[in-house]
Structure 1
Amino acid sequence: IKDEQPAQEGKDSYATHRVKVPVPPIGTSFVHRGLAYRDASRKLRDAAQKETPDLLVAHDFEVLSAAVAAGRRGRRVPVIYDSHEDWPALIAENSALEARIAKVQERRLCRRVAHVITVSEPIAEKFRRMNKDTTVLYNARPESEIHLADRAASRRSFGYAIDDFVVGFAGALAGGRGLDILLGALPTLPASTKALIVGGPDEEAERLRALARAEGLQDRVRVDGYRAFRELAPYYASMDVGVILLDRRPNHERALPNKLFDYMAHGVAVIVPEYPAIAPIVMEGPCGWTVPDIRLEAVSAILREVQSSGEARARGKTGREAYVRRYAWDRQEERFLQIVRAVTEGHVV
């Protein structure tokens, strides 16, 4: 955890105690990683105990053992496990051995957890099979963080014509996000179809720019580097459709990326894979479309369908309404506080 502490301001500010606990990355010595995690857990456990808490919230698997250990020492303190991923499945992408250990550890530690909060029904079902009280809460931003930009002005600022169809992506640029496939699909689509990509790290943004130049797409592809969320409103306002093209792997099928709700909050229709966690939310409105698999032919076909349908603006509006009505943290917060009150008072949620 970073040891720099940002200034706390305003009536809702609270003290933050940050503990620096560096851990070697996956791919380095398994023994060194295990020892580093043990040391990190002990430091976090001791730091948590010094605060004499009434409740401990373990923000994902990496700190669950520290929270459980802190909750068992001295005065018993209830623990909420806030699991944003299927962690054993995520770890398995890099280390099968560590994934097996994580699966056993997660099940063992959950015996000491009072309640599990997670982001999707597929992940929730895993914990319910452990007989754990589990609630799905969506990690959408509060409405106060969403600032809608003017569509026409935003598109003009990026140089888009009225009849351009802008396919957008805002988020971390990394392998498995389908962006190479998106660029590969562009030559199969009308010249008015453009790609607007914003995110970091810088080296990945430059790689995508180079790929666009190599394919002769530099006039149809704009790749901007990392921007703070507060700077993204013009990007969202310029999009006709946003894409989430995660490749097929167990954690991608079960987890629910926050960027889905960012698109919805800004009134942008979405294209997502037919995965069990994300597809039902998109098709409920519908606030977008699903693609059966993340291959060039399938992505090209769905983009042609979306562009020819003329429904992108309407589905984006439906997504925005669903965000305000159900998914914004302003709606989710009430349920979270109910869980906190019940757990701290020793009641079943």
Structure 2
Amino acid sequence: MRILVVTVVHHPEDARILHREIAALTERGHRVVYAAPFGARGVVPRPGVEGVDLPRAAGRDRAAALRAARALLAGRGPEADVVLLHDPELLLALPGTLRRWRRSGRAPVTVWDVHEDTAAALTMKRWLPAALRPPLRVAVRAAERLAERHVRLLLAEEAYQDRFRRAHPVVPNLPTVPAAPPAPPGTDRVVYLGHLSRARGALDLVETARLLAPEVRVEVIGPADADVRDALAEAGRAGVLDWHGYLPNDLALARLSGALAGLSLLHDQPNYRHSRPTKVVEYMAHGVPVVTTPNPLAAGLVRRHRCGLVVPYGDPAAAARAVRRLRTEPRLRLDAAACGRAAALAELDWAERSAGFADLLEGWAKGTASGGRAPGPEPAFRIRPAAGNGASTPSP
């Protein structure tokens, strides 16, 4: 197939987009054109993928990115068998584009990969005036229902199904579990992997690091929002933590193995309550005990698989105590690492799901896949019935 993948919001080396979905497609021999903000992010396309540079949509500055995306879709869309969109903003470029494609007789299958609960995420957009958030949430919900009528949907979480009237395939956001056994967890290094913001607990992370220093070093990997960068940089200069900033996915993951613990200090926000933090599964996959706040899906994983400790929201002292407990109780630390790794291998490995994702897009392109069931062997994806139809819901 010829597949056009488009994002103006995500980093071009976003793990879900590039390292999972695009990798699964190129491994099948499909030709991928990847349109993303390469220049704005200072990266270049990976070999084997044709890259198209787009402006980045950030904060209130989104108009230029949407104009460029609309022009790209109008020009390159008819060349593709599948157009895979990764941002809700890109839905704004579709109405006129879909009509032009249909008139031309060359309309590709259009797919929206739903990464998050967009309406809930609006509550955390500090650049968005508070008075605009409620009406925009209503508008986003309406846009989602409209999109459901005109494009195919993939959902990153089963809980997202409640926002839609029909059942849609769930493509879980899982890492590839390394085949080689990881180093056992040590006693002097804690890791954090992922984007850094107030709502993701960046300031709690800094305070946790202060409480652990100098016996335990906190290593922070990921880009940060503007309003927390100074605090992270100052903590780095003071020797409280090591902040590496953004690292390519393979380099970032390589720093996990052997850590005493992996931190996930999300705040209690609507957008996080039904989303599984990918970092938690990445820690498990690399044999790193998890310390997490009570985000429901993260805490559920930790408690069910006995792979770490759960601490209260907004409590750096509790997070530091949990790390010290793992440090001073070798049996707890080693058991948590082993249990997390075993669970990731058994249930949470993208390598076991990637073929099902490629099967799904191939089936849609051929017109053979239904909207409610992903082809391919189970357990590729889980399909949850739409709310209110009386059907039972499979457990995660």
TM-score range, shorter chain: 0.7 to 0.9
RMSD: 3.5
Aligned pair 1:265/2:265, yes or no?
A: no
Contact 2:182–2:287 (Cα < 8 Å) also in 1: no
Match of 2:33 in 1: none
Normalised to the residue count of structure 2, the TM-score between the two structures is 0.67
Aligned pair 1:107/2:145, yes or no?
A: yes
> What letter matches 1:125 in structure 2?
D
2:337 to 274, 291, 316: 316
In structure 2, how many angstroms separate the alpha carbons of the residues matched to 1:256 and 1:288? 15
Aligned pair 1:167/2:190, yes or no?
A: yes
Match of 1:347 in 2: 369
Contact 2:70–2:97 (Cα < 8 Å) also in 1: no
The alignment of Structure 1 onto Structure 2 pairs a total of residues equal to 319
Normalised to the residue count of structure 1, the TM-score between the two structures is 0.75
> CA 1:281–1:341 in structure 2 vs 1: closer, same or farther (change >3 Å)?
farther
Q: Which runs of 5+ in 1 are unaligned?
A: 156-163
In structure 2, how many angstroms separate the alpha carbons of the residues matched to 1:175 and 1:333? 33
> CA 1:125–1:338 in structure 2 vs 1: closer, same or farther (change >3 Å)?
farther
> CA 1:50–1:342 in structure 2 vs 1: closer, same or farther (change >3 Å)?
closer
Match of 1:295 in 2: 315
The share of aligned pairs that are identical, in percent, is 21
Matched residue of 1:140: which SS?
Answer: coil
> What letter matches 1:62 in structure 2?
E
> What letter matches 1:324 in structure 2?
L
In structure 2, how many angstroms separate the alpha carbons of the residues matched to 1:280 and 1:92? 24
> What letter matches 2:277 in structure 1?
P
1:42 to 70, 89, 93: 70
Q: Which moved more, 1:283-292 or 1:202-211?
A: 202-211
Aligned pair 1:87/2:111, yes or no?
A: no
Aligned pair 1:243/2:257, yes or no?
A: no
Contact 1:119–1:256 (Cα < 8 Å) also in 2: no
Match of 1:328 in 2: 349
> What letter matches 1:81 in structure 2?
W
2:84 to 57, 75, 92: 57
Aligned pair 1:125/2:162, yes or no?
A: yes
1:2 to 21, 33, 37: 37
> What letter matches 1:105 in structure 2?
A
> CA 1:233–1:105 in structure 2 vs 1: closer, same or farther (change >3 Å)?
closer
Contact 1:171–1:259 (Cα < 8 Å) also in 2: yes
In structure 2, how many angstroms separate the alpha carbons of the residues matched to 1:291 and 1:302? 7
Matched residue of 1:92: which SS?
Answer: helix
> CA 1:93–1:182 in structure 2 vs 1: closer, same or farther (change >3 Å)?
closer
